Amino acid sequence: MEKEIIEQALKSWKKIGEVVEFIPYGSGHINDTFLVTTKEKQYILQRINTNTFRDVDGLMSNIDEVTSFLREKTLEEGKDADREAMSVVRCDDGARYTRDDQGNCWRMLSYIEHSVCLQKARNNNDKTIYRYPRIFLFILPVK
In DSSP terms, 37 is beta-bridged to 21, 42
d(CA 132, CA 125) in angstroms, rounded, equals 15
Summarize pLDDT for 108-143 with one digit per residue, the tens: 999 988 776 655 666 666 555 445 554 444 444 444
pTM for the structure as a whole: 0.82
Summarize pLDDT for 52-95 with one digit per residue, the tens: 999 999 999 999 998 998 899 889 989 998 888 889 999 999 99
The amino acid sitting at 105 is C
What is the sign of the dihedral through the CA atoms of 124, 80, 86 and 138? positive
